[in-house]
Amino acid sequence: MIKFFLMVNKQGQTRLSKYYEHVDVNKRTLLETEVIKSCLSRSNEQCSFIEFKDFKLIYRQYAALFIVVGVNDTENEMAIYEFIHNFVEVLDEYFSRVEPINELLKIGSALEPQQACFSPASSFKGAVSAPPIY
C-alpha cells in the first residue's frame, strides 16, 4: 500500500506531496527532509529501494526532480517503480512541458496520483500542498 507520494527537487524542496495516511503537518516536514536526504546520498549503482524506518522508499530521478513513494512492505517494489514512470509519462502527455511552479495549481487540480489505482486515465483530483518557493 502506498503511504505517501513526494516530488522533491535536488535542493530538497518539496514540490508536491500527498499522504494517504494521516501524518502531522510538522512531522511531514521532518519526514520529507529525511527522505530526500537518504535519496540524495545514493549513487547510480545503488538500487532504487531504500528500507526506511518501518517502510520502504521507492524513488526515481528525473533530471533535478526526485519522485519518491513510501510504501509498506507488502507492496510490489517493481510495480511502484514503474508506476512512477507511468505517472511522469502522463504528466508529460497532459502538459507538454512539466515545470513545477507554473503548473503547480494545474497539477494539483487536474492530476493527482490515485490512491492505489494505477490506471493511466487518472482522474482522481485532490489536494496539493507545497511549501513556499523560497
Partner 1 sequence: MPAVSKGDGMRGLAVFISDIRNCKSKEAEIKRINKELANIRSKFKGDKALDGYSKKKYVCKLLFIFLLGHDIDFGHMEAVNLLSSNKYTEKQIGYLFISVLVNSNSELIRLINNAIKNDLASRNPTFMCLALHCIANVGSREMGEAFAADIPRILVAGDSMDSVKQSAALCLLRLYKASPDLVPMGEWTARVVHLLNDQHMGVVTAAVSLITCLCKKNPDDFKTCISLAVSRLSRIVSSASTDLQDYTYYFVPAPWLSVKLLRLLQCYPPPEDAAVKGRLVECLETVLNKAQEPPKSKKVQHSNAKNAILFETISLIIHYDSEPNLLVRACNQLGQFLQHRETNLRYLALESMCTLASSEFSHEAVKTHIDTVINALKTERDVSVRQRAADLLYAMCDRSNAKQIVSEMLRYLETADYAIREEIVLKVAILAEKYAVDYSWYVDTILNLIRIAGDYVSEEVWYRVLQIVTNRDDVQGYAAKTVFEALQAPACHENMVKVGGYILGEFGNLIAGDPRSSPPVQFSLLHSKFHLCSVATRALLLSTYIKFINLFPETKATIQGVLRAGSQLRNADVELQQRAVEYLTLSSVASTDVLATVLEEMPPFPERESSILAKLKRKKGPGAASALDDGRRDPSSNDINGGVEPTPSTVSTPSPSADLLGLRAAPPPAAPPASAGAGNLLVDVFDGPAAQPSLGPTPEEAFLSESWERWGRGMRTGAHPGHPVPLPLPPRFVCKNNGVLFENQLLQIGVKSEFRQNLGRMYLFYGNKTSVQFQNFSPTVVHPGDLQTHILSGLGQPPTKRVAAQVDGGAQVQQVLNIECLRDFLTPPLLSVRFRYGGAPQALTLKLPVTINKFFQPTEMAAQDFFQRWKQLSLPQQEAQKIFKANHPMDAEVTKAKLLGFGSALLDNVDPNPENFVGAGIIQTKALQVGCLLRLEPNAQAQMYRLTLRTSKESVSRHLCELLAQQF
* Interface contacts to partner 1, rule CB under 8 A: 43, 45-51, 54, 73-74, 76-79, 81-83, 85-86, 94, 101-102, 104-106, 108-110, 114-121, 123-134
Helix (H, G, I), strand (E, B), or coil: what is residue 111? Answer: coil
Q: What is the closest distance, in whole angstroms, from the C-beta atom of residue 12 to partner 1 in the complex?
A: 16
Instruction: Copy the grid coordinates of residue 56.
Output: 520502504
Q: What is the closest distance, in whole angstroms, from the C-beta atom of residue 40 to partner 1 in the complex?
A: 15
Instruction: Copy the grid coordinates of residue 127.
Output: 489536494
Distance (Å, whole) CA 83 – CA 87 = 6
CB 70 within 8 A of CB 4: yes
Q: What is the closest distance, in whole angstroms, from the C-beta atom of residue 107 to partner 1 in the complex?
A: 10
Taking the least distance from each CB to partner 1, the nearer of 33 and 115 is 115
Q: What is the closest distance, in whole angstroms, from the C-beta atom of residue 108 to partner 1 in the complex?
A: 7
Instruction: Copy the grid coordinates of residue 14.
Output: 518539496
